[in-house]
Amino acid sequence: MSYIVAKDLVKHYGRGESAVEAVRGMSFQISAGEFVAIMGESGAGKSTVLSIMGAMNAPTSGEYIVDDINIYELKREQRADFRREFLGFIFQSFHLMPYLTVAENVMLPLAIVKVSRKEKVAMAQDALAWVGLADKANRLPSQISGGEKERVAIARAIVNEPPVLMADEPTGNLDTKTSGDVMDLLLKLNGDGMTIVMVTHSHKCAGHAGRILHITDGRLQEVLN
Ligand SMILES: Nc1ncnc2c1ncn2[C@@H]1O[C@H](COP(=O)(O)OP(=O)(O)O)[C@@H](O)[C@H]1O
Ligand SMILES: [Mg+2]
């Protein structure tokens, strides 16, 4: 049974003459536990479809269903709850808060989770240990390397153990060795049962996924690997 179902997704930005058709009718299904890579040229619509899948960007038309929940029929607050509970998201440029420490950044998704501060600190510390950054918890983002920032972003995405992780070019700004380390972490999470959807430009990274979706001009090119 498919865990994630996208039906005829369309996304237009703007209206009239200046309208951009970023996604032009995409349908696909993803099973629980899959690792799917999304590839395509710059401007093909990868980030747009990932943000729709991340419950952050309503499609112009079409349906998006996760675990039998029709995401864009939810009220805004319910959708925010869904996002917090079900999805970890790694943005293209980390999106770390510069004035918060590494540990505080990792704790952000727990802000309104009903557990004690002490427990939140422990959860953040566990996530940081898991990505190998236990000793950097009290640094500021400006005091760690690019690869470490990426690992902080992963720790933040998994701190509340969501079933699905989405990553937009997680290795885009990293050297080969560091991006290999990041891929190893993602593969380990997938091995533990997490469903992963990753946008990437790297054929090498995409090769680790179970399936590749190729996007050209807002359309799915092929679904076969
Ligand atoms: N917020 C936005 N407003 C207007 N146009 C956008 C916006 N986001 C993306 N686009 C446009 O939509 C198209 C697809 O963009 P995007 O999904 O970011 O592609 P990719 O991630 O594959 O590079 C591009 O033409 C881009 O300029
Ligand atoms: Mg993009």
Q: Where are the domains of the chain?
A: 2-95+161-222
Q: Is the CB–ligand 1 distance for residue 45 below 6 Å?
A: yes
Cα atoms in the 13 Å half-sphere on the side-chain side of 88: 29
Closest residue by Cα to atom 16, ligand 1, is 45
Nearest ligand atom owner, CA of 213: 1
Instruction: Tell me the average pLDDT of the chain.
Output: 93
pLDDT score of 225: 47
Determine the atom of ligand 1 nearest the C-alpha atom of 40.
22
- How many other CB atoms are there within 10 angstroms of residue 87's CB atom? 23
CA of 208 to the centre of ligand 1 (A): 26
CA of 46 to the centre of ligand 2 (A): 5
pLDDT score of 129: 96
pLDDT single digits (tens) 168-178: 998 887 888 88
Among the listed residues 142, 167, 169, 173, the one whose alpha carbon sits nearest the alpha carbon of residue 155: 167
> What's the 3-state SS for 91-122?
CCCCCCCCCCCHHHHHHHHHCCCCCCHHHHHH
3-state secondary structure of 58: coil
pLDDT single digits (tens) 15-69: 888 899 999 999 999 999 999 999 999 999 999 999 999 999 999 999 999 999 9
Examine the pLDDT at 223 and tell me if it is beyond 60: no
Residue 32 · residue 87 · CB < 8 Å: no
| Helical (H) or strand (E) element with 220 | strand 219-222
Determine the atom of ligand 1 nearest the C-alpha atom of 50.
17
pTM of the model: 0.93
Closest residue by Cα to atom 8, ligand 1, is 48
Helices and strands in the chain, H and E counts: 7, 10
Q: Is the CB–ligand 1 distance for residue 44 below 6 Å?
A: yes
Examine the pLDDT at 192 and tell me if it is beyond 50: yes
Q: Is the CB–ligand 1 distance for residue 40 below 6 Å?
A: yes
Q: What percent of the chain has pLDDT over 90?
A: 84
Determine the atom of ligand 1 nearest the C-alpha atom of 23.
14
Give the homologous superfamily in CATH for domain 2-95+161-222.
Answer: P-loop containing nucleotide triphosphate hydrolases (3.40.50.300)
Residue 203 token pair? 């054929």
82 vs 28: CA distance, rounded Å: 21
pLDDT single digits (tens) 56-107: 999 999 999 999 999 999 999 999 999 999 999 998 888 899 999 999 999 9
Q: Which amino acid is at 179?
A: S
